[in-house]
Each structure stands twice: as structure tokens, then as C-alpha cells.
Structure 1
């Protein structure tokens, strides 16, 4: 049994590098894993989704993974019960309504739209019209659909979110442990020499897709989600292999990093400003030429 000490994890760039370091440490080991949280005084939604997915992936590959919940500090444990993470891996009750968007594990798109509308954008944390909400949920649905159709993940998709009231931020993370965006694009072009950053830029260009079937709609193009993130002063981050993509009001940045993650993580941050209301052009009679009216 190998004990892994989970540290404090936020969702800044260096925190994702910490998660990838843990992944690299355990993925090629033949030993069973115990995750110890004695050094963890804070755990954001990205770590919850990632660690849950990592446990399922290792279990799928005949590895035993144990969460030592007795080592989790009380305030962290309460949040893990609220978002349903503890209940997923034990007989604990949960989740319950609070500031968490429930931890889920999915292998298909059933109820994904309901999950996103009811638990993410439908909680009143972002002032948004129904039409715009449905449109944005449709784009995030496509992120999940790409996991089911494109990622070749044997354990599906993992998601969790959180509203941070003191920061006026709403977070949502989607993780898969598949082959990653660069591999799918390289295979699509039958060219293994393509650079990681090129594959990410190609994948996030509207209209491009490696889709070969019609089971799920859409590709990775962000469309209205990207426009809304810019208007909202939010951000979208994507990690796949050694590549990183940041999309915000300043544009798009594609960079390489030193750690490596085989799959893909999408991390969405929205601002919860009660002074702003967002709607689609055409939602009311006072629309102008702006795509979003604020």
C-alpha cells in the first residue's frame, strides 16, 4: 500500500500541476493506493472531480484505492459530504443543497442537461435569462458529449462545482481519463508529429471536430460559451497532455507545461455579480446590436 498525501489544492495553474504530479506518481505503480488528507486544509472542485476520477480509473485497472476520510479536516469533510463525494465512496448520506454543485460520475449524456441547468446555472447565482441559460448549457453538454464519444475513457466523465460566495465566483470542472485532445486530433489527421499546442488550437476552433458518428452533437468549438465568458469576465481553462488553454476577456492563450496528464480537464469560472443581468439578443423588445445585453 502506497500512501499519497493530498495537500491543499485550489484551482490555480500550479494546483493543477500538483494534481498531475500525483497522477504521474500513481498511474504506473503496481501498488494499492491510500489517499491521506492530513495535510489538506482546502480542496476545490477540480481536485474533487480529479481524485474521484483517478480512483475509478485505478480501480478499473485492478488497483485498490482507499480514501482515508478520518484524516480529512472537519471543514473539508463537511464540503465533501455536501457535494456527495463521501456518499459516492461510502454509505454516507448526501449530497444536500448548499454552495456545492454535486460530484457526479457519468458514462453517457443522460440527465446531463438537467444536472447543469438545475445545479449549475439554475441556482440563481448568475442572473441570466432562460434562453441564454439553455444555450450555454447546450455548449457545456457538448464538453461532456466529447468525453463519451471522443476521449475513449474507460470510466466516463467526472464533474463537480462550487459557488465561492466571498469571491463572487461559480466554478465547474469536467474531467476525463481518456486519451486526451492531442491524441484524438493526431489520429484524426493520421499525423503523430503534430504539436500539442497546434492540436488544442485546432480543436477549439469553431466548426472543427474529430467526430465520426452522429450519436452526440457538436465538437469542441465553444461559440456562445466563449462569448458569455468574455462578457461575464469569467474564464475557461483546458488541460490536456502537456498543453494548457486559457480563454478570457483578453483572448486565448495556448501554452505548454512541464507536467503531463493523459486525459482532459475543463475548468469554467463565472462571475456572480448581482448587478448584472445577461440575456440573448431578441429575448426582449429593447435589444440592440450586442450579443449579450448587460
Structure 2
């Protein structure tokens, strides 16, 4: 079977096409990626390919544009599927990684975040705020590991777009979804959309602990930065863009959860915390 992926951008249509692809890959397939592909979306595409490979499906990339191929070589995505790597001379990629949920996975992700989230591609901020930003990404990763109940790893990828003046970063899992976790822990049934709203409001399934801190803090920062925060879980889609929230229900669900941040790197504001955190923390 042959499939054309089409333009995959970090928007509703791009995520919808990824969910459709997941349900189309019921047999061996050749995929055409000759159109545009935002590199951070490799997190979702890689997750889907990973699962299909475990199901013994054969997936080949039959056609790929030279521009897209160069990016997917630089961020190491193609190397996971037998392709070549290429050095990233300009440092615009955030490497595609598959994190197994065993061993020292938290330390691996901590080093990953420190490596790729320094000052380049970020608005001007104090060192303490940069640490808090990294902590929030770590909290989102922690949620994916602990609450998705996945045995198939966590997937991450990003890209700095100098011309667009945007930084995109996505973390995805192949777990039970936010709605599935709420039901498993609290025996509360919510639609996929409502479950995302529940999570973004700061609620948590962790007994006796405040929760949603990573998402809550990132949401506050994104509002100030006029960037975007996108959460896809199952059939639910939730987006905060320039302070406005929009939602959607997909006809075909994504088999897990993905959190995407889009930062406006043209932001000239300088940021600091109202109370600076301890400089001796893990970041």
C-alpha cells in the first residue's frame, strides 16, 4: 500500500493527518513525505512507526523531498529507520529521541533538556527562569512516564526555525491517554477533550500532591510569550494560541498523548521569576 503524508505542520490539520495515518497503517506500507514536514512532528510519527514495527508491519519511506530529508538526517530521525545522519552545523535541530521507560530514563532526559534548551532559540530570561523552564519540560516528561502506563517509550523532537522565529518542541507517548488515566485512578469518565481541560486546569491523579505543575507553568509562560501550547490525547485536541483556547475532536484518535510547545523567539521581553528558585537544583 502507498500513502502520501501531505503537508504536516504544527497545527490542527497536521495533527489530524497524523491520527489518520495511524489508522491507515494496518498493513505494510510505503509513505511519500515529499511535502513539508515540521521536524517536531517526528515525535508523533516516530511513535506510530515504532508501534507498527512492533506489530511486524513493514514501513518504507518511498519519496522524500531534499529539504525534508536534510532536516530528518540532521535530527537523526531517519537513522532510527536505516537512514543516514548528517551534522547539524547551524544547531537548529533538537534531536529526535526515543526514551525507554526503564533504567536511568530521567537522567537521560535531564541531560537532553540541558543540551538543547540553553539560551539559543529562547527569549531572554534569567538563569533561574531557564531552570524553571527546564523543570517544567521535565515535569511533562515525568507525567508521560508515570501516567501513560506505556511500555513503548517516550518520544521527543524539536526544531528552531530562524526565519519563522519560532521554536517547536513535542513530547509524545503511546499510553492510555489522559482520559484513560483519570478513569484508572479516579474512576471518573471524561471525554478526551474534557480530560485535557481537566489536566490543564492543574488537577492531578497523584494522591496528596499538587499536580499539573509543568503544564500550568508552561501555559502561563506561553500566554506571556504569545506562543502556542498544543495537547493531543486520544481523540481530543486542545490549543492555546496567543491567549485564545480552541478545541477539536478527531474522528480517528492518536494512540497516546502529545504535548507541543511553540515559542515566539522574536519576543523582546526579558523574563524572570517573581521569586527566584534555588540555584542548586538538578538543572
TM-score range, shorter chain: 0.7 to 0.9
Counterpart position of 2:18: 19
1:85 to 77, 85, 102: 77
Q: Is the 8 A contact 1:139 1:222 kept in 2?
A: yes
**What SS class does the counterpart of residue 171 from structure 2 fall into?**
strand
For the 8 Å contact 1:83–1:100, the answer to whether it is kept is yes
Kept after mapping to 2: 8 A contact 1:99/1:164: yes
> Is there any run of 5+ residues in structure 1 with no aligned partner, and where?
284-294
Give deviations 1:105-130, integer Å, cap 9, x for gaps. Answer: 11232321222232134435432221
Greater relative contact order (Cα < 8 A, sep 6+): 2
Tell me the CA shift for residue 252 of structure 1: 4.0
Alignment of 1:205 with 2:201, yes or no, is yes
Residue 196 (str. 1) matches residue 189 (str. 2): no
Matches within 5 A, 1:1-294: 2-26=1-25, 29=26, 31-37=27-33, 40-68=34-62, 71-90=63-82, 92-94=84-86, 96-97=88-89, 98-107=91-100, 108-192=105-189, 194-206=190-202, 208-211=203-206, 219=212, 222-273=215-266, 275-282=268-275
Task: Give the TM-score of the pair, scaled to structure 1.
Answer: 0.83
SS in structure 1 of the partner of residue 270 of structure 2: coil
- Secondary structure (helix, strand or coil) at the match of 2:106 reads coil
Give the Cα separation in 2 of the matches to 1:35 and 1:91. Answer: 15
Deviates most, 159-168 or 248-257: 248-257
Aligned to 2:280: none
Structure number with bigger Rg: 1
Question: How large is the Cα RMSD of the aligned pairs?
Answer: 2.4
- What is the deviation of 1:186? 1.8
The structure-2 alpha-carbon separation of the partners of 1:220 and 1:242, relative to structure 1 and needing over 3 Å to count, comes to farther
The CA distance in 2 between the partners of 1:95 and 1:155, in whole Å, is 28
Secondary structure of the 2:204 match is coil
8 Å CA contact retained: 1:106, 1:158: yes
- How many Å separate the matches in 2 of 1:221 and 1:205? 11
